[in-house]
Amino acid sequence: MSSPVADVMTTTPGYVEAMGIDVIAARPFTDSDGGDPPVVMVNRMFAERLLPARRAAAVDPMVALKQD
């Protein structure tokens, strides 16, 4: 069975607010993000399908990022 794949988009602080995106759990990106480990935001469909035990919870699930 292959691992799920998702599109990745790099953004900066203020993007979520500028695009009018509602953050359901957790928080938008801040200037302190962007270090190591990387910070990610996922959409509801990703969370419901791939993180069902943590659905809509502001916790720190692990998501592996792989660059080709």
- Which pLDDT value is given to residue 68? 61
- Which pLDDT value is given to residue 35? 76
Q: Are 54 and 61 in contact (CB under 8 A)?
A: yes
Domain ranges of the chain: 15-54
Q: Are 43 and 56 in contact (CB under 8 A)?
A: no
pLDDT tens digits in sequence order for the chain, 68 residues long: 667 677 778 888 888 889 998 888 778 888 888 777 778 888 888 878 777 665 555 555 566 666 66
